[in-house]
Amino acid sequence: MFKNIKRLAGFIGEYKKASILSPVIVALEVVMECLIPFFTADLITYVETGDKSQLLTKGIVTFVENNISTNSLAVTGFYCGILIIMALCSLSFGALAGIYCSTASCGFAKNLRRELFNKSQEFAFENIDKFSTSSLVTRLTTDVTNVQQSFMMIIRTAIRSPLMFLFSIIMAFIRGGKMAFVFVVVIPILLFGLITVARKAMPIFKKVFKKYDTLNASVQENVHGMRVVKSFVREDYESDKFQKASDDVASDFTRADKILAFNNPVMLLCMYTVMTCLCLFGSRLIVSSDNTIFRIGDFSALLTYGMQILMSLMMLSMIFVMITMSSESARRICEVLNEETTIKNPENPIYEVKSGDIDFNNVKFKYAQRAEKYALCDINLHIKSGQTVGIIGGTGSSKSSLIQLIPRLYDVTEGSVLVGGVDVRNYDIVSLRDAVSVVLQKNILFSGTIKENLRWGNENATDEEMERVCKLACADEFIQGFPDKYDTYIEQGGTNVSGGQKQRLCIARALLKKPKILILDDSTSAVDTRTDALIRKAMREEIPDTTKIIIAQRISSVEDADVIIILDDGKVVGIGNHDSLLASNAIYKEIYESQTKGAKMS
Amino acid sequence: MNKTVKNPRQPNMGRPMKKAKKGTFSRLMKYLFSFYKAPFIIVLICIALNSLATALPGVFQQNVLTDAQEGIYLIHPEKIEVSDETKREYPDLSEDEQLVIEKEKLLNKWDLPLDTFNNGGKLTPKEALEVVYPSIVKVVIILICIYIIGLIAAFTHTRTMATVTQGFLNKMRNLMFGKMQTLPIKYFDTHTHGDIMSHYTNDIDTLRQLVSQSVPQIITSVIIIVTVLFVMLYYSVWMTLLVLCGVAAIALVSKKIGGGGAKYFIRQQQALGKSEGYIEEMINGQKVVKVFNHEPKSKEEFDKLNTQLCNDSTKANKYANTLMPIINNIGHILYVFIVFVGCLLVVLKVPNLSISGQSMSIPTVIIFIGMSKQFTNNVSQLSQQANAIIMGLAGAERVFELLDEESEVDNGYVTLVNATHDENGNIIESAKRTGMWAWKHPHGDGTVTYTELKGDVRLNEVDFGYTEEKIVLHDISLYAEPGQKIAFVGATGAGKTTITNLINRFYDIADGKIRYDGININKIKKSDLRRSLGVVLQDVNLFTGTVMENIRYGKLDATDEECIDAAKRANAHSFISMLPDGYNTVLSGNGSGLSQGQRQLISIARAAVADPPVMILDEATSSIDTRTESIVSAGMDALMQGRTVFVIAHRLSTIKNSDVIMVLDHG
C-alpha cells in the first residue's frame, strides 16, 4: 500500500507548491480558530470583573490604557477589533487553503488521468484483453475520482483535524487549568468507542460489500439472460432467488449499520459528559475561587474547545474510513501504471516496408501464456505482393488471429511472420502499421464528421482523395445522399449509419492510408452481394499492387481470389484457388454448395 | 445486441438532473410508511426528542451560570447592579433605592437574612458556594435527565433507522426486481443494461442517502432552529436580531458563492462527461486506434479535454472549498459581534427586551455564543441537505419510472394442461404428469375444448418491425408440421432471430397471424406458450450456481437423474464428469471457466431437460468449433427427434438434414 502511495505521490508534479502551501495555510487557519475563543474568554472576564489582573492577555489592556484610553469601552472595542481581525485572517486563510487545495487536487487528478490514458494508449492488444475495456474505463474514471477525493482530504482535512485537536487541547489547558482534565477523561472513552465500532463494523462491511457486489452482479446476469428467463418462464423463480439474496444482504447491512449506530450516541455521551462536568464542577470552581482560578469567561472557552476537540476526533475517524476505501482504487490504478506493454519497438527499427509480400514460417500462436490451446498452429504461408487472398473458415477457426499477426497487433508465440521479407518484429511499429491497413471485424467509427473519421487514415488527405477512396469503397453514393454529405456527423459508435454503411466507411478509411497490404476482416458481411462485388472489382483495378487479404463468410466474396486459405481450428486445411478447392476440398465444397443452394431458393 | 454495459459503479455524472415531479416525495413517504409504520413513527419521535435535547440545554447552562454569578455577587455585593425588572417595577424610586431592593431580592432568593450586606457585610466564597450550590446541582440533575433522554432517543433513532433504511432499500430492490421480471423483452432491448443496472446501484444509493440522512437531518435542523429561536427570544430580542443578521449574511454569501459555484459545477460536470465519454470511446475503440497509429493524436485530444476538465473542476472546487471556511468564519465574526454587542449591552446597561423579562447579563451572552453556533450550523445544514434532497428525489423518481413501466400484457386464456385420453379417445385433463399435454381452450359460451399439443406452427403473412417505420419482416408465411425441422439461413440482420422472437411472443406481430396447433398464439397464455417452446440461444447465459442447478433451470422439479440423462442426450455428460466437482462444480461469471462449446452444451442440456415439443435453436452451434460441433449436433439430433425444430445457422452442416430451409434476405 505504501508503494502505491509513493507511486501516486509522484503525480503531484508541478502542483507541489499548492500541495505544500495548502496544509501550511490550513495550520495557520487552525491557529486563528483556536485563538479566537482564547481572546473572547479574556474579553468576557474583563467585562464581567472589570479587572485586568486576572487576564492572560493583560498586556493588551495595559497597552490600550497607556496609549488610547482607560475607558473600559475602549478596551472592549479594542479586543473586538483584534477578534474581528483574527476572524478575517482565519477567513482568508481558510479561503486560500480551499483555493490551493482545489488547484492541487484537480491538478493531481489531471496528471494521473493523463498518465493513465497515455499508458493505456501504449498498451498492446494483449494488455487490453487482460484488463478488459470496461475495467480500464472504470480505472480511468471512478477510481481516479476516488483517489482525487482522498488526496484532497489528506492535504486539507487530514491536516486540519489533528492540528485542531492538538491546539484545542493546549488552549483548553491554558484557559481552563485543571478543568481541562475533563477532556483527558472523555477523549479515551470516545477514541475507544470509535475504534471499537470501526473494528467491529469494518469486517462486516467488507463482507457485505462483497455480497452486495455479488447481488448486483446477479441482477446484471439476470438482465443479460432475460431471454432465457422468459423462455423458461422463470420470472417468479428469479424473483424469489433475488429476494432471498437481497434479504440476506439487507440483514447484514442492518447488522453493520446497527453497530455503526453506536458512533453517534458515544459522541453525544462524551459531549454531554463534558457539559455536565463543566456545569457541575466549573460553576463550583467559579464561586469557590471567587472567579479567580476559573472564570465565567473560561467557561465559554472550554465549551468551544470541547466541541472542537470532539468534532476533530469524529472527522479523523471519517478520514480513516475514506482513505481505507480509496486505497483499493489506488491499487487498481497502480496496476495499470505498472503494466508493461508487451509489444515494443525494436532497438534499431527498420522504417521502410519494401513490399507487400507476406510469409508465415511455422507460426504458432496463443493469446495468453497460460492458455493451453494454441489459437494457431503450424502455419506456413507465402503471399506475394499484389495478390488477393481469401480466408474462409468457421467461427472460432482463428481467422482473425491469423491476420492480427501481420501488423503485429499480437506477437507470435513461435515461428515468425515476415512482411516485405523482414520479420515484423524488426520494423518500427508505426511504419509497419502504416503499411498494413486492417479493417477490423469489430470496427468502430468515432464521434465526429465523416471527414474527420476518414482522416484517421491520413491526416492530410484532400477532399478529392477522400472522395476517391469512398468511391472505391462504394461509400460515396450514400454519403452524397446525406444532407451534409461528407460533413455528416457520426454519433459515438456510428449508431446513426447502418451496418453496411459503417463497414464501407471503415474500408474507405483504411484505403486512405495507401497501404502495401490491406486486410478486410469480415468487413463486408452487412454489405449486399452486388456492392460487395463492386468493391472487390474496384480494388482489383485501382490498387493492383496492394496485397489484399479478405476474410469472409460468403464464398462469393473470395471465389475470385488468387489464393483461398481454409482455416479450421487454428490449422490450414486447404490452400488453392476456387476451382482446385472445389474439386479437392470437402469443407470448401460443402460451404459452397450450401450457399449456392440457398441463393437459388431465394 | 450491442449493448455496452456501462460501469455500474459510475456515479450519476452527466445524467441530466431533472427536477423531481411533485408527487415523488409523498409517494416515497407513502412507501416508507406502508413498510415500516411503527418504527418510522418511533424514529420521528426520537428525532424530535433528540433535537430538543440538543437545543434546550442552553437554558440550563444559563441558569447554572446565573447562579454562579449570583454567588459571586454574594461575595462582592458592591458589584450588584439594578436589573431591568426592578426598574420596571419601581420606576419612581431613585437608583440607590432600586439597588437596595435589588439586593433584598437577591437575599430573599437565597433565603439569607436581609441584613447580610449591612455595614459592608458579605459572604466568603465558601459560604457563597454553600448557598448557591444546591440550586446548581438541582439544575444539573435536570440537565442530566435531558441528556439521558437525548442519548436514549439518539440511540433508538440510529438503531431503528438502520433497520428501517436497509429494510426499505431491500423492499424497494425487491419491488424493482419483481417488476423487472414482468417487463417485456422490448424494455431490455431498448434500454442499455448499464442504465437498468444503475437503478440498483446509483439510484438505490441516492435513496439511502435520502432516507437515512437527508430526511432525518432536515427534521432535526428544523426542530433545533425553531427551538433555539424561541430560547434566544426568551433571553433577548436584540441579540436574537443580531444572530438573524448573521444568518442572513451567511445565506447571502453562500447564495452568491454557491451561485457562482453552480455555474462552474455544471461546467465541470460537462467537462467530466466529455472526457469520460472520450475515454470510453477511445478505450472501446482502442484496437482501431492502434491499427491506425492514432495514439499520438488521441493523447493530444485527451490532453485538451483533460486540461479543460482540470480548469473547470479547479474553479468549481475553489468555490466549493472556500464556501465552508467562509461560512465558518462568518460564524466567527458573528461570534465576536455577539460578544461585543452583548458586553456593550451589559456595560451600557441598555434595557433588554425579552420574553422572560430578564436583563442582559454575561451568562446570557455566553449562552448566545453557543446558540448562535447551533443556529447557523443548522441553517447551513438545511441548505446543504436541500441539494441532497433534490438529487435523492431524482433517484427516487427514476426508481418509480421503472416501477411504473408497463408490464408485459398477457390476455391469453388458453392454458397448457396435463392430459390423457379417456376410454372414448377424447382428451381429458389430468392432474398427474402424463407425458401428454393439451391446450385447454375455454370458450365464450362456457364450454371447454382440449387440443393435443403437437407442435404445429404456422405463420401467415406476418409483417413485423421493431419500430413502426422500419419493417424487418415482410409478408412471411411458413408452415411447420409437427416433427419437422425448419432451418433459416441468411445474412446478419436478415430477420432470422426476429422470427423466433415472434413465435415465443417476445414481440407481437404487426400484421398477420401465427397459429400454434391451430390456435392463434395471441390467445395462449404467454407463460404456457413459452413453456412449450425450448430455446437455445446464440449468446449462452448460464447463471451463477452449480452445473446441476443450471441444467435444472429447464425444469425445476427435475430429479438429478433426469438432469444427468438430459446432459447425456446433449453429449455434455462426458465433459461435466471431468470437471473437478462434476455436476456440483460451481459456475460463475456466465460459466467463465468453461469453453464456449461447453457452455453451449450445458444450455442444450438445459433445454433438453425441459422436454418441450417445439425447439428453437438460434445459432446454437455457431460459437463451437467444427470438431465439437459434430459432438453437439449428435446431441441435438437426438434432441430433435419427434419435435418441431426451428434452426437458425450460418453453417450448412447444422442444417443439412432439415426438412425445409428458408433463406431470408432483408425480411
Query: Per-residue pLDDT tens for B364-411?
Result: 888 888 888 888 888 878 877 777 787 788 888 888 888 888 888 777
pLDDT at A431 > cutoff 50: yes
Question: Which three three-digit cell numbers place residue A357?
Answer: 509480400
- Distance, in Å, from the CA atom of B491 to the CA atom of B89, rounded to the nearest integer, reads 103
Indicate which of A73, A126, A232 best probes the interface with B, i.e. most B CBs within 10 Å of its own CB: A232
A233/B527 CB distance under 8 A: yes
From the list A364, A181, A148, the residue with the least C-alpha distance to A285 is A181
Do the domain assignments include residue A349? no
pLDDT grade, residue B629 (50/70/90)? low
Nearest chain A residue (CA) to B136 = A280
The answer to whether residues A406 and A484 belong to one domain is: yes
Chain B nearest CA to A22, separation (Å): 12
Total domains in chain A come to 2
- Distance, in Å, from the CA atom of A144 to the CA atom of A326, rounded to the nearest integer, reads 9
B541/A238 CB distance under 8 A: no
pLDDT at B666 > cutoff 70: no
pLDDT tens profile B281-325: 887 777 778 777 778 888 888 888 889 888 888 888 888 888 878
A76/B340 CB distance under 8 A: yes
pLDDT grade, residue A233 (50/70/90)? confident
Taking all residues of chain A, what is their mean pLDDT, rounded to a whole number? 81
CB-CB contact of B122 with A281 (8 Å): no
What pLDDT shows up at residue B13? 38
Nearest chain A residue (CA) to B331 = A87
pLDDT tens profile A579-590: 787 778 777 777
Indicate which of A231, A341, A495, A512 best probes the interface with B, i.e. most B CBs within 10 Å of its own CB: A231
Write down which residue in A338, A373, A392 finishes a domain: A338
pLDDT grade, residue B589 (50/70/90)? low
The answer to whether residues A316 and A438 belong to one domain is: no
The answer to whether residues A145 and A249 belong to one domain is: yes
B71/A457 CB distance under 8 A: no
The answer to whether residues A329 and A368 belong to one domain is: no
pLDDT at B655 > cutoff 70: no
**Rounded to two decimals, what is the model's pTM?**
0.72
Do the domain assignments include residue A277? yes
Q: What is the mean pLDDT of residues A216-221?
A: 79
The answer to whether residues A564 and A529 belong to one domain is: yes
What pLDDT shows up at residue B2? 35
pLDDT at A313 > cutoff 60: yes
Asked if B450 is an interface residue toward chain A (Cβ–Cβ < 8 A), one would say no
Write out chain B residues lying below 8 Å of A149, CB-based. none
Do the domain assignments include residue A384? yes
Write out chain A residues lying below 8 Å of B163, CB-based. 254, 258
A47/B347 CB distance under 8 A: yes
Sequence-separated (6 or more) residues with CB below 8 Å from residue A121? B282, B286, B289, B295, B298, B299
From the list B520, B24, B494, the residue with the least C-alpha distance to A525 is B494
A280/B297 CB distance under 8 A: no
Most confident of A46-55, B248-257, B415-424: B248-257
What pLDDT shows up at residue B494? 58
Asked if B137 is an interface residue toward chain A (Cβ–Cβ < 8 A), one would say yes
CB-CB contact of A57 with B371 (8 Å): no
Nearest-CB residue to B159 (from A80, A261, A597): A261
B610/A232 CB distance under 8 A: yes
B144/A276 CB distance under 8 A: yes
Do the domain assignments include residue A429? yes
B 93-122: CB under 8 A from A: none
pLDDT grade, residue B591 (50/70/90)? low
What pLDDT shows up at residue B493? 53
Asked if B470 is an interface residue toward chain A (Cβ–Cβ < 8 A), one would say no
3-state SS assignment for residue A476? helix
Asked if B665 is an interface residue toward chain A (Cβ–Cβ < 8 A), one would say yes
pLDDT grade, residue A357 (50/70/90)? confident
A261/B161 CB distance under 8 A: yes
- Distance, in Å, from the CA atom of B537 to the CA atom of B173, rounded to the nearest integer, reads 29
The answer to whether residues A163 and A302 belong to one domain is: yes
What pLDDT shows up at residue B470? 67
| CATH number, residue A17 | 1.20.1560.10
Write out chain B residues lying below 8 Å of A601, CB-based. 661-663
- At B201, the amino acid letter reads T
B620 versus A39: which is more confidently predicted? A39
Percent of chain B exceeding pLDDT 70 equals 87
Asked if B282 is an interface residue toward chain A (Cβ–Cβ < 8 A), one would say yes
Write out chain B residues lying below 8 Å of A265, CB-based. 151, 154-155, 158
What pLDDT shows up at residue A358? 83
Q: What is the mean pLDDT of residues A414-432?
A: 83
3-state SS assignment for residue A580? helix
The answer to whether residues A273 and A369 belong to one domain is: no
Nearest chain A residue (CA) to B628 = A569
Taking all residues of chain B, what is their mean pLDDT, rounded to a whole number? 79
Write down which residue in A307, A338, A369 finishes a domain: A338
The answer to whether residues A66 and A16 belong to one domain is: yes
pLDDT grade, residue B145 (50/70/90)? very high
Write out chain B residues lying below 8 Å of A117, CB-based. 279, 282, 299, 302, 306
Sequence-separated (6 or more) residues with CB below 8 Å from residue B3? B192, B193, B194
Nearest chain B residue (CA) to A99 = B318
Nearest chain A residue (CA) to B313 = A106
- Distance, in Å, from the CA atom of B201 to the CA atom of B192, rounded to the nearest integer, reads 15
Q: What is the mean pLDDT of residues B27-31?
A: 86
Nearest chain B residue (CA) to A290 = B125
How far is CA A373 from each of CA A185, A366, A368, A398, A413, rounded to the nearest angstrom?
A: 68, 7, 10, 12, 12
pLDDT tens profile A241-291: 888 888 888 888 888 888 888 888 888 888 888 888 888 888 888 888 877
The answer to whether residues A61 and A13 belong to one domain is: yes
Write out chain B residues lying below 8 Å of A161, CB-based. none
Chain B nearest CA to A197, separation (Å): 14
| CATH number, residue A382 | 3.40.50.300
User: Which residue range is the domain that position A285 belongs to?
Assistant: 2-338
Nearest-CB residue to A430 (from B2, B293, B313): B293
A224/B57 CB distance under 8 A: no
B556/A237 CB distance under 8 A: yes
Chain B nearest CA to A150, separation (Å): 14
How far is CA A49 from each of CA A296, B80, B102, rounded to the nearest angstrom?
A: 10, 12, 19
Asked if B257 is an interface residue toward chain A (Cβ–Cβ < 8 A), one would say no
Element (H, E) at A99: helix A72-122
What pLDDT shows up at residue B149? 92
B336/A569 CB distance under 8 A: no
Write out chain A residues lying below 8 Å of B136, CB-based. 279-280, 283-284
pLDDT grade, residue B152 (50/70/90)? very high
B286/A121 CB distance under 8 A: yes
Write out chain A residues lying below 8 Å of B77, CB-based. none
B 24-83: CB under 8 A from A: 57, 60-61, 64-65, 67-69, 71-72, 75-76
What pLDDT shows up at residue B7? 37
Which residue shows C-alpha cell 423531481?
Answer: B20
Chain B nearest CA to A485, separation (Å): 23
B329/A94 CB distance under 8 A: yes
Write out chain B residues lying below 8 Å of A137, CB-based. 7, 276, 279-280, 283-284
Which residue shows C-alpha cell 424473483?
Answer: A239
DSSP state of A417: E
- At B119, the amino acid letter reads N
pLDDT at B12 > cutoff 60: no
- Distance, in Å, from the CA atom of A204 to the CA atom of B280, rounded to the nearest integer, reads 34
The half-sphere exposure of B252 on its side-chain side, counting CA atoms within 13 A, is 7
Nearest-CB residue to B652 (from A48, A304, A594): A594
pLDDT at B667 > cutoff 50: yes
pLDDT tens profile A550-563: 887 777 777 788 88
The answer to whether residues A62 and A111 belong to one domain is: yes
> ipTM beyond 0.90?
no
The answer to whether residues A44 and A182 belong to one domain is: yes
Sequence-separated (6 or more) residues with CB below 8 Å from residue B268? B309, B312, B313, B315, B316, B317
Do the domain assignments include residue A485? yes
Write down which residue in A288, A306, A338 finishes a domain: A338
The answer to whether residues A523 and A485 belong to one domain is: yes
* Residue pairs between chains A and B whose CB atoms are closer than 8 Å: 448
CB-CB contact of A514 with A472 (8 Å): no
What pLDDT shows up at residue B469? 64
Do the domain assignments include residue A95? yes
Nearest-CB residue to A257 (from B64, B166, B284): B166
Nearest chain A residue (CA) to B277 = A492
Nearest-CB residue to A279 (from B143, B337, B531): B143
pLDDT tens profile B77-101: 887 877 777 777 888 888 888 888 8
The length of chain B, given as a count of residues: 667
pLDDT tens profile B192-244: 777 787 788 778 888 888 888 888 888 888 988 998 898 888 888 888 898 89
pLDDT at A471 > cutoff 80: yes
A137/B362 CB distance under 8 A: no
Nearest chain A residue (CA) to B126 = A288
Q: What is the mean pLDDT of residues B175-197?
A: 82
Do the domain assignments include residue A252? yes
Do the domain assignments include residue A353? no
CB-CB contact of B462 with B475 (8 Å): yes
